[in-house]
């Protein structure tokens, strides 16, 4: 039975891949939330100067497969870059700061981060938009009647409620970001799925390799789920039970 | 193969082979007596064995060796097309005398068939931009593209743990990454790399440095226990190398004037 388990070396690979998955998904979630908010504002802006580019973005990134987008950023875009820049991006760089060193991420990491962020942001923007639309029109009218300026209406009335409404679907998008990060194995990023495939190749212990990876993904999703439940208990959405 | 006469001959051969276990009939004598050497070769694996579109005959590097062996025996050559999976069954069922079909020598296979000395080696090699890679010592410092799930990936990681490996779904993807500069070299079996490079528009920019980090040795497969036939093949191969004929055969398929020029690293008799 013992030789059915994975050797520590291979578990190490999986843990290392898991670390890459977690860091990548976290960075993508943060960046995509900021970008998604900006996109949402652009999309609902009354001026076409803002809303049309935002519409175009949403339709391009939501309506094409993520895998194709990743190939585009990794293989396609790099073919267009000037050679000097590409060489710089692909060479390991290291900066020693006062307390710790900063390592420049690999090009696979950059392309994966970039592609996933642009894709996830498009979905997050739409979650925000539905949150904004979920704020009752009466609230805005009431705020205006109370003499709030348009900016005050946005910052004090619409946004706080819109955030709460969009929190559950937003967490769903973060879960998607974790799961979608597995596609970056196609562009050679050594995240969890890549590591599990690598372990499988070397050990032929197919069930164990993919089993561990699956368990780690489930674990991550459960943690996000629990965090979401905790957040919602603390700040229930307007109209939800207890409000 | 389904002609009644062939079936009869097959049945006779099967019967004979059953007897041969008892009577120790020697295959080498049988071949000479029958005047036919039956060789299994690939029919769709250029340049080792494939149907030549002009002549409609099986030809290739393996076939050239088969022709040489038949000529040395003074018998007619009969080629039997095979795929990888049928190579051992053809030998054990006594349907062919020799398998010359890019047959990698492994311990597992050697339990079921005899192998000659290797006459070809398919080594794990690299493609890199011209002038960037000249010796295996440099590998440890490079980013190298590999094909997912191949032994190439495992071998490279074991031998050069400090190299950065980036695994792609297949060789064309890895090559695109090399062209884009994401990796500095890609690795695969030499003959596969040269086949890939042959179809690349800007192939002048790349080269396959003349070294390999592992060798799959290719030998002739022979029926288990046929010592005299095996000895005959071994002696013939050594003589073909000594006379320069082996080099001529190699050059016909991998020489500088071919579409797939690959420097010859392995020679018959090397270990």
The token duo for B271 is 């270990």
Q: What are the angstrom distances between the C-alpha of B66 and each of B13, B49, B143? A: 21, 11, 41
CB B80 within 8 A of CB B38: yes
pLDDT tens for the 271 residues of chain B, in order: 445 666 667 676 666 555 554 445 689 999 999 999 999 999 988 889 999 999 999 999 999 999 999 999 999 999 999 988 899 999 999 999 999 999 999 888 899 999 999 999 988 999 999 999 999 999 999 999 998 877 888 889 999 999 999 999 888 889 999 988 889 999 998 888 988 888 888 889 999 999 999 888 999 999 999 999 999 999 999 999 999 999 999 999 999 999 888 889 899 988 6
In eight-state DSSP terms, residue A6 is P
3-state helix, strand, coil in chain A (%, to 5): 80, 0, 20
- For residue A200, the chain B residues in CB contact (below 8 A) are 149
Class of domain A7-234: mainly alpha
B4-119+219-254 folds as D-Maltodextrin-Binding Protein; domain 2 (3.40.190)
Query: Where do the structural domains in chain A lie, given as residue ranges?
Result: 7-234
| Residue ranges, CATH 3.40.190.10, chain B | 4-119+219-254, 123-215
Which residue in A has a C-alpha nearest to residue B177's C-alpha? A75
B145/A78 Cβ within 8 A: no
A86/B148 Cβ within 8 A: no
B123-215: in CATH 3.40.190.10: yes
Amino acid A241: pLDDT: 47
- For residue A106, the chain B residues in CB contact (below 8 A) are 164
Q: Which residue in this structure is represented by tokens 């409000």?
A: A243
> How buried is A13 (Cβ within 10 angstroms: 0-12 exposed, 13-18 middle, 19+ buried)?
buried
What number of other Cβ atoms are within 10 A of residue A14's Cβ?
21
Interface ipTM: 0.71
More confident position, A130 or A206: A130
Q: Which helix (H) or strand (E) holds A63?
A: none
Residue A175 to chain B, least CA–CA distance (Å):
25
**Mean pLDDT of the A122-142 span:** 95
């Amino acid at each position: 039975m013992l030789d059915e388990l994975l050797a520590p070396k291979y578990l190490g690979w999986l843990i290392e891949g898991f670390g890459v998955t977690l860091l990548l998904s976290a960075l993508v979630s943060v960046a995509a939330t900021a970008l998604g908010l900006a996109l949402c504002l652009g999309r609902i802006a009354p001026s076409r100067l803002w809303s049309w580019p935002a519409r175009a973005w949403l339709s391009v990134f939501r309506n094409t497969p993520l895998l194709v987008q990743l190939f585009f950023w990794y293989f396609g875009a790099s073919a267009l870059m000037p050679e000097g820049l590409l060489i710089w991006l692909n060479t390991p760089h290291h900066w020693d700061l006062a307390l710790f060193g900063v390592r420049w991420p690999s090009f696979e990491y950059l392309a994966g981060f970039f592609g996933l962020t642009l894709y996830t942001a498009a979905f997050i923007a739409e979650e925000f938009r539905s949150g904004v639309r979920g704020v009752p029109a009466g609230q805005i009218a009431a705020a205006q009647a109370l003499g709030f300026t348009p900016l005050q209406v946005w910052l004090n009335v619409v946004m706080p409620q819109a955030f709460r409404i969009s929190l559950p679907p937003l967490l769903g998008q973060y879960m998607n970001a974790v799961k979608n990060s597995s596609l970056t194995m196609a562009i050679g990023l050594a995240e969890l799925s890549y590591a599990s495939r690598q372990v499988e190749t070397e050990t032929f212990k197919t069930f164990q390799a993919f089993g561990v990876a699956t368990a780690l993904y489930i674990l991550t999703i459960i943690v996000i789920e629990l965090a979401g439940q905790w957040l919602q208990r603390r700040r229930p959405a307007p109209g939800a039970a207890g409000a | 193969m389904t002609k009644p006469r062939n079936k009869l001959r097959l049945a006779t051969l099967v019967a004979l082979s059953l007897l041969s276990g008892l009577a120790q009939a020697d295959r080498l004598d049988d071949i000479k007596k029958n005047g036919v050497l039956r060789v299994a070769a690939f029919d769709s694996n250029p340049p080792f064995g494939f149907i030549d579109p002009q002549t409609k005959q099986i030809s290739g590097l393996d076939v050239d060796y088969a022709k040489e062996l038949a000529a040395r025996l003074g018998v007619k050559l009969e080629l039997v097309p095979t795929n990888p999976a049928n190579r051992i069954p053809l030998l054990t069922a006594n349907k062919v005398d020799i398998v010359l079909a890019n047959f990698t020598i492994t311990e597992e296979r050697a339990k079921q068939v005899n192998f000659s000395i290797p006459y070809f080696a398919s080594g794990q090699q690299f493609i890199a931009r011209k002038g960037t890679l000249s010796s295996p010592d440099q590998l440890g410092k490079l980013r190298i593209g590999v094909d997912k799930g191949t032994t190439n990936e495992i071998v490279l990681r074991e031998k050069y743990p400090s190299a950065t490996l980036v695994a792609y779904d297949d060789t064309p993807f890895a090559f695109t990454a090399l062209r884009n500069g994401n990796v500095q070299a890609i690795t695969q079996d030499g003959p596969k790399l040269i086949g890939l490079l042959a179809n690349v528009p800007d192939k002048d920019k790349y080269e396959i440095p003349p070294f390999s980090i592992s060798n799959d040795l290719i030998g002739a497969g022979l029926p288990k226990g046929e010592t005299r036939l095996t000895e005959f093949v071994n002696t013939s191969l050594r003589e073909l190398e000594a006379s320069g004929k082996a080099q001529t055969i190699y050059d016909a398929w991998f020489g500088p004037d071919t579409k797939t020029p690959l420097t010859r690293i392995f020679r018959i008799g090397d270990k």
